[in-house]
Homo-oligomer: A and B are copies of this chain.
Amino acid sequence: MKFKSLKGFRDFLPEEMAARREVLRRIEEVAQRFGFREVDLPSLERMKLFEVKSGEELVDQTYSFEDKGGRKVTLIPEQTPSRARVLAVEKSLNQPMKWYSTSKRWRYEQTQRGRLREFYQTDVDIFGADSVEADAEIIAVLAETMRELGVGNVVEILINDRNLMEKVLDKEDIENKRNVMEVIDEREKLSRAEFFTELENAGIGEKKAKWIDEIVSINGPLDEKIDDLEELVSGEAEEELERMKELVEMLDSYGVLEVVSLDMSIVRGLDYYTGLVFEVFDKKGELRAICGGGRYDKLVELFGGKGVPAVGFAIGDAVIEELMKREGVWPEEELKTDVYVLPVSKDARKEATEIVKQLRKKNLKVETDLKNRNVSAQLNYANYIGAEKVIIVGKRDLKENKVTVKEMESGEERLISLDKVVEKVG
């Protein structure tokens, strides 16, 4: 009887895992450079946590079940609610708290390209700072991450501000802003006609609908488009526009302004965003959003804590993998080993093991024969594991207190005395 893994779950064997580890390592190293610290939170949480944040519909797309003690629990689809749970009770934390965490997340959804049931995700958040400086830092980490992954030039970060958007809607006395935001959020999936129909269904008259359409069509270089917008809303939303201009200035200092655009159609449906929102897109438009995030200053309150402002993003491994592979920058990792120690026969095993032990003490990656194979089979294996050097330990050489060191790339061999070999190879 053979078994299959579950649909949407992946097995990573050594070469594949080495590539994925390299990608995750790069993402984490950028966060570390920015002073983010690793945290880790449970994979399983009370289902209520997710209902509070996202409502019951979203919980439907999770792995949720009753545990043996009758508790309703959910395999986390994201880490944000757990973070809010912790922050709602921790009083002693110094602010700001800059946290990252890479772990598995689960969603029960139809699997498709870039959408799996189990995936890695890295969350990067700043808690305790409501400043534009924090907004800028989050965008800068994100831009730097894209650059580090080799896709800096093929993506764009589209940003908007929910407060700004609300003020802009206020300008034309648009009511029902929540519903309107939902329609805007759906816009990408709708035809132009459907968009207007949906606005009408949300109780928006024709004139106002045109205004909304004009606004959400604003899309382009941040500095230019903010000026356009300012003209359009003449006198409204001054504070929000000021903040956006400050953001532009800071993104410029961070050297990432050129990859960021204003896109007024980005509102990120989730109710809990309170300011900056952003999504990263493939410029060619072939892939779904690569990642997204924003400011959510009220979330911790939902979990019973005092106000802890927050801004952050999460990046999963599935879509970025597709993009990196398309661009030819997904790392090709080959097996690598420093030294393979090859006992020619069993009676050379003792000396071989001694060399192995000494080389590992020097922190080298070392393998030796575990299958009592002949010399040529061992050399094949040494080649397979990417050994840089092979030390051949044979009885004949040993009689003269020597071993042979073979450089695998050049094929060059030389005899080295047994007591010098560790020093020379290590």
Contact = CB atoms under 8 A, between A and B. Distances in A.
Interface of A: 1-6, 9-14, 17-18, 20-21, 32-35, 37-46, 48-49, 52, 63, 65-68, 71, 73, 75, 82, 85-86, 88-90, 93-99, 103-104, 106, 108, 118, 126, 128-129, 131, 133-134, 137, 140, 144, 249-250, 253-255, 303-305, 335, 337, 349-350, 353-354, 357, 360, 363-372, 381, 384-385
Counted per complex, copies of this chain come to 2
Given A17-B39, A39-B14, A94 B384 contact: yes
B131 A364 contact: no
Given A303-B2, A365-B33, A366-B33, A14 B99 contact: yes
A131 B373 CA distance: 11
Contact of A44 (B3, B33, B63, B93): B63
A229 to B, nearest CB: 24
A369 to B, nearest CB: 7
A254 B372 contact: no
B349 A250 contact: yes
Contact of A106 (B44, B85, B106, B367): B44
B360 A34 contact: yes
Given A33-B365, A37-B18, A42 B10 contact: yes
Given A44-B75, A66-B65, A35 B365 contact: yes
A262 to B, nearest CB: 21
Contacts of A63: 44, 67-68
Task: Give 7 nearest A-B pairs by CB, closest first.
Answer: A14-B37, A35-B367, A65-B65, A253-B353, A9-B42, A2-B304, A129-B370
Nearest to A40: B12
Q: Which of A3, A133, A360 has the most CB of B within 10 A?
A: A3
A369 B95 CA distance: 11
Contacts of A90: 13
A270 to B, nearest CB: 19
A358 to B, nearest CB: 10
A43 B104 contact: yes
A19 to B, nearest CB: 11
Contacts of A255: 357
Contacts of A363: 33
Nearest to A38: B17
A118 B385 contact: no
B96 A371 contact: yes
Nearest to A362: B33
A363 B148 CA distance: 12
A304 B354 CA distance: 39
Given A9-B44, A357-B253, A365-B32, A371 B131 contact: yes
Contact of A6 (B44, B118, B366): B44
A18 B35 CA distance: 13
